Structure 1
């Protein structure tokens, strides 16, 4: 699968931009109980399904691929204007994204999830809520990963709304395999020479990475890229709160 290089700029009516992000003061401590168990159901955020944004399901091509787990999360931005109205404009913007991606030859909208500036979480690619469906978001590294796109442009000088960052962290905490830690690293193998790395190259990456880490692009924009440590810590904190000590089984 390929990565999204398309810059989308549908006309959007302006509203005020939201506030800036900040960084937690204290480091997150991972749970160390010998019988600690992560309960993913406790992490599931509210996700707006495809029907709510009138996805063109008839245009989705057959043959979507499903992975066994999610080892990594790649963060993107869509390069749209930031002054959209979340309630009024976002459904149409998502439909444009889907139409653009399908016209480019992809099976469906490339991102698994899209987050708006108000913190709304939308199901992008078909089936992403209930299954680990492979997206078309990060060329060479789509397998065993998900793509989360921030709706807007977060290049230098832009501010990333706190609600948006929080929602990105919530998705990552929920969808990552329990064996992976948002603060950790993972080794993935490039499947495509179109990435920064030749096909077959084993690459060490942050479990939560930016698109630019593996592809020649500015995505997800410098402002959002600089916020990735905050997202990792917040996702880890959410997981710690959803991890409980299970008593050992009686023999």
Structure 2
């Protein structure tokens, strides 16, 4: 009978591994594994992106944080998918033709209608893989180690729409799950460079965003 006695540490470790095998999140002792929603993310091909002007670099390591941005564009009341795709093309054109970057600067774009789109090429495939990051151009010093998420609009004085905030929570939870990033490591663009981004109102919501993402992850 002694051969079949399993100590508590081994049992907890097995439960955690089972949770990961089922696509959940391995949580601490006393918690159950929680399934994480996989958001619908429109790929570059889906929204009609141009090809990058130069080869992009995929780095063989995981990002360590998420940086939240706002696009500083008008707070559109067009919440359609067509508008979301047009916004993505407009951002890419600006980043490539005005900033002279190789491609869209951020990894992902989140719209006021709640649509999430791949920004820089290879961002979606590396996120799904969970072990690499494509070098981006959203924040000096962070482009190799932080996932950049742009949120459509200007949030200096107004609240983001409920759909945008909800899709941001879901996206951040998935990114944290895939890369093993703590919700505490969701930060704002202004934490790393002198800028108003992501706007005073959205920046003040980051503590709540961390809590909501943690809840999505089950703890």
TM-score when normalising by structure 1: 0.67
Distance in structure 1 (CA, Å) of the matches to 2:193 and 2:60: 21
User: Relative to total residues, which structure has the larger helix share, 1 or 2?
Assistant: 2
Aligned length: 184
Segments of structure 2 that go 5 or more residues without pairing to the other structure are 1-11, 25-34, 127-132
> Matches of residues 207-218 of structure 1 in structure 2 within 5 Å?
207-218=185-196
1:110 offset after TM fit, Å?
Answer: 0.6
1:139 offset after TM fit, Å?
Answer: 1.0
1:175 offset after TM fit, Å?
Answer: 1.6
Q: Is this contact kept in 2: 1:211–1:217, CA < 8 A?
A: yes
1:64 aligns with 2:57: yes
Specify the structure having the higher radius of gyration (Cα).
2
Q: Deviations over 1:64-104 (max 9, x none)?
A: 23341121000000111012413232222211110111121
**Secondary structure of 1:139's aligned partner:** coil
Q: Which residue of 1 aligns with 2:211?
A: 233
Distance in structure 2 (CA, Å) of the matches to 1:66 and 1:211: 21
Segments of structure 1 that go 5 or more residues without pairing to the other structure are 1-32, 184-206, 242-251
Cα distance change on mapping 1:110 and 1:178 into 2, 3 Å: closer
* CA root-mean-square deviation: 2.0
Alignment equivalent of 1:89, drawn from 78, 83, 92: 83
Q: Which residue of 1 aligns with 2:7?
A: none
